[in-house]
Amino acid sequence: MNRSSLIQSQQWLISILAIIVLFFDTTCISAAQAKILPRLSVKRPPFLGEPAKFSEPVSEDLQTFYYNQTLDHFNYRPESYTTFEQRYVMNFKYWGGASASAPIFVYLGAEADLDSDMSVVGFLKDNAHRFKALQVYIEHRYYGKSIPFGLTQEEALENANIRGYFSSAQAIADYAEVVIYIKKKLFAENSLVFGASYGGMLASWFRLKYPHVTLGALASSAPILYFEDITPQNGYYSVVTKDFRKASESCYKTIRESWSEIDRVAAEPNALSLKDYLSFIYAGAAQYNDPPLYPVTMVCGGIDGAPKGSDILSRIYTGLVAYEGNMSCYYTYSPDD
């Protein structure tokens, strides 16, 4: 890299770092809340509203490609050299080209098919014009159209031998191969990786594991230290609690008082199931508390708007109806399902 290219690279890297603001928020939590760490599930859980309902349509400038990916990056058994097609998508619309040292923005897919991610990921497309960046989106192995052996995800995960290649370490090694391939093909040098939630964890680990492949990583809402014996077990729920308390003090108090009321009126197995379900609903509302729906406000609006004289569980129910809709039966989804 010549001196001019290095200076340009430093300038756009400093610029993009200048627009990144990280928010860390903690607070106290009721002892009645869950006492275990929430865990990532294989599939991203459903949440209020489909992304396509409040996102811009996927750009017509996107071009789809497939990389002949190695199944096993870390062993040397004959089956390790098996390959599968891994999908990635590129948008050249704003790219300034390798000669201008224009960067490549690489989105690392997470626990969903790439189509779902691209419908809601706005950071790359919002900033690509400013930095004359090439946008690249890579699908996580075992999702969407990037499943080995031509199987469905269910079939792949049911087979213990095939399931063994489904790991975050293998995934970031996949990403390294694809990024290196793209950079060589386009004679490009500069790249940054991006990810959110689990994808943010991947982005962080990618930068640590493959610092020669990327100049940096932006990890949004990435629980990189959220493991047992590292982070307090109520760490995530403390943030959820503060979200609801900020939205409505009376709503927060109703939810807090409801846990003991559920224990009082329900049989133990049912009580546990209902409490897990409600915890999941509240956590999901806080996690996806985005415009235009603002799920936390929606739940609290239902709870606070219950008919005068309603008991605690009736108010909780009106909050559930506000969030999920009025149904004859509610599926008590759990991340462990």
- Phi first, then psi: give them for residue 38, nearest 5 degrees: -60, 145
- Phi first, then psi: give them for residue 13, nearest 5 degrees: -65, -45
| 32, pLDDT greater than 50 | no
For residues 291-317, average pLDDT = 95
Alpha-carbon distance 116 to 49, whole Å? 13
Which residue, 244, 255, 336, is CA-closest to 294?
Answer: 244
Cβ neighbours for 36, distance < 8 A, ≥ 6 positions apart: 233
Which pTM value belongs to this model?
A: 0.76
Chain segment 175-198, per-residue pLDDT in tens? 999 999 999 999 999 999 999 999
Percent of residues, the chain, with pLDDT higher than 90: 62
- Quick check: 276 and 329 in contact, CB under 8 A? no
- Quick check: 137 and 117 in contact, CB under 8 A? yes
Q: What is the dihedral of CA 296, 297, 303, 304, to 10 degrees?
A: 150
- Quick check: 108 and 176 in contact, CB under 8 A? no
Chain segment 87-122, per-residue pLDDT in tens? 999 999 999 999 999 999 999 999 999 998 887 788
Cβ neighbours for 87, distance < 8 A, ≥ 6 positions apart: 64, 65, 66, 114, 138, 139, 144, 145, 146
pLDDT at 52: 40
Residue with the two structure tokens 């940096």: 216
pLDDT band at residue 334 under the 50/70/90 scheme: low
Question: Two tokens at 239?
Answer: 């943030």
Paired strand residues for 218: 194
pLDDT at 50: 43
Counting other chains too, the contacts that 241-248 makes at CB distance below 8 Å and 24 or more residues apart are 241/27, 241/28, 241/29, 241/30, 241/33, 242/25, 242/26, 242/27, 243/286, 243/289, 243/296, 244/282, 244/286, 244/296, 244/299, 244/300, 245/27, 247/296, 247/297, 247/300, 248/300, 248/303, 248/304
Amino acid 285 reads A
**Lowest mean pLDDT segment, chosen from 194-203, 300-309, 327-336:** 327-336
- Quick check: 91 and 125 in contact, CB under 8 A? yes
